[in-house]
Amino acid sequence: MAKRTVRDLDVKGKKVLVRVDFNVPHKGDVITDDNRIVAALPTIKYLLENGAKVILFSHLGKVDHKDPEKTAADKAKNNMAPVAAKLQEYLPNAKVTFVDATRGEALEKAVAELEEGNVVLMQNTRYEKGESKNDPELAEYWASLADLYVSDAFGSVHRAHASTVGVAEILPSAVGFLIEKELKFLGDAVEKPVRPFVGILGGAKVADKLKVIDNLLEKCDTLIIGGGMAYTFLKAQGYEVGTSLVDLEKIDYCKSMLEKAEKLGKKILLPIDTVVAKAFPDPIDAEIETCTVPSNAIPADVMGLDIGEKTAALFAEEVKNAKTVVWNGPMGVFENPVLAKGTNAVAAALAETEGTTIIGGGDSAAAIKQLGYADRVSHVSTGGGASLEFLEGNGLPGVDVIDEDHRKPIIVGNWKMNKTIAEAEEFIAAVDPAVTDKAVFGVATSFIALQSAIKHAKNLIVAAENCHYAESGAFTGEVSIPMLQEIGLKYCIIGHSERRQMFGETDETVNKKVKALFEAGITPIMCCGESLETFEAGKTEEWVRGQIKAGLEGLTAKQVASMVIAYEPIWAIGTGKSATKEIAEATCAIVRDEVRQLFGQKAAEKVKIQYGGSVKPTNIAEYLAEEDIDGALIGGASLKVDSFIEIINAVK
């Protein structure tokens, strides 16, 4: 799902808290490389030019909080004051105020006095012990300083810290231009590459890139493996590799990856010749005597430290013919001039490639800059750890938490007391392949059909139609949440009007169920809605607000932001009547406004609100076109295969 960007925010006159990556190398007060400051400027300047009051925060180095003396020394070493001075040089038309604090009166006063078009830079976030622990109190404090949050520190988004995740869970959020660019290049390369797609992996250890190897094999056409990790693959092929770096525990893994590549019809390229020496250079850039040997015949008393010329030519040829290339990790000990030739050859090949070329941060980014090719590739990532996590196919906590550019609809068929297990399986087999990524589609089945439905549904989500809030007890005929947990259920409908009317469920009961579901990690779909009598008396708003307030009592804003609320006018359920799109939108807007008043803007923007009431293929699109309707809870029209597929196809 695309993330909201800074362009989507109304920042005029707003205090905007921006997480930047100012973790720059420095010696004392002298910054030796200001590339990360420069990389943050487009977002900062955009905000200033659009009338924002900009509050910047970043980490710098590491701070040991275990030893008081070490803490004091680390704080003195990693003070942000020189960064503020450098930033002021790049922003001559703005006033940059540095605050030597991460909380307290001085910071609050500077923020209160901050004018449009100016900047406050606070002290190093890692001065706070709770930063790396995502301390909720610290996140709440930092969030209280601002109206909006922008994440633009790609090098830090793989960490769930207070400044990268905690604040974003509280404030309306967006990504800055730097992260937007990173997600576009890395995302397009991995998810929709122009082929041939070549992945290049280097570096020391196989263990560091297990998931990357596995994930890239699924995506790319050719996987090139160099660096120290190549020797474990060569060992897995039965070759002797001398004293080269080998991860003996990963030999079987390498064998399985070679087998996987063959099964998938993918190509893995390994070195065919190797530059060897008697020992690793010490210091790393010391003169060293080397020779080149075949990779399948490395003598017992030497170690491989770089790829040879034949391998460099082989790899370069593959790279030059590619349309998409992602590179992470050098081919050898590139810090040593004698052992940098393989890395240099691959870098030169990338520079000559007409396709999209992406350097995945870390050592490979350092290498391509050191070798002078950085301006001749499509993109050099600013985050080594983050880009590695991305290539592994993992989520990035500091990106995942950012608001989406729109709420993805959720369409759930509520089957009520219909369909046997066999009928449910037949329905899912027919509908599941038709599911698109335009929305989350699912079905709520009877309890007896749930386990089978979960087993057979690959694209559809499966929901229960009810649960009891107690874990166990003398509740004849009821279903407990632990029972639903055991079968892997992720969603559950509660408070449906039929249960309120027929079984006397109250708002208090619904609230207990909501809390219990959250405790179990199951997403509630909480229903609300008014009777015909209430509607005709003009008391819909009062009634619905009351249900929302009672049903959500005691929840956190984060919980509410993650749930689904279904507005179902009782008079439109099973009657053939339906609320007009105007009536449905007005009431869903009331629901969202009540959430806003109770839990804040962030929760209101993220909570998904469904409309339920005689929704069918012919009218679903017009409901979903409304601003506050994020999906539908569908009854009768969800029972027939053809009808439900029509609904799926109607969602744009």
Cβ neighbours for 285, distance < 8 A, ≥ 6 positions apart: 335, 336, 337
- Token pair of 537 as six digits: 């008396």
Tokens of 93: 């038309």
Catalytically active residues are 496, 568
CB-based contacts of 358-361 (< 8 A; 24+ apart in sequence): 358/185, 358/186, 358/189, 358/324, 358/325, 358/326, 358/327, 359/327, 359/328, 360/186, 360/326, 360/327, 360/328, 360/329, 360/384, 360/387, 360/388, 360/391, 361/155, 361/328, 361/385, 361/386, 361/387, 361/388
Strands 53-57 and 119-122: parallel
Q: Using DSSP bridges, classify how beta strands 197-201 and 324-328 pair: parallel, antiparallel or unpaired.
A: parallel
Sorted by sequence, the CB contacts under 8 Å of residue 495 that are 6+ apart come out as 505, 507, 510, 513, 526, 527, 528, 547, 551
Dist. CA 263–CA 266, nearest whole Å: 8
Distance of alpha carbon 635 from the chain centroid: 33
Cα separation of the two ends of the chain = 15
Longest dimension (CA), the chain: 93
Other CB atoms within a 10 A radius of the CB of residue 609 amount to 26
Say how many CA atoms lie within 13 Å of 604 toward its Cβ.
Answer: 16
Question: Which residue in the block uniquely carries the two structure tokens 């002290």?
Answer: 123
Q: Read off the amino acid at residue 58.
A: S
* CA–CA gap between residue 383 and residue 376 (Å, rounded): 19
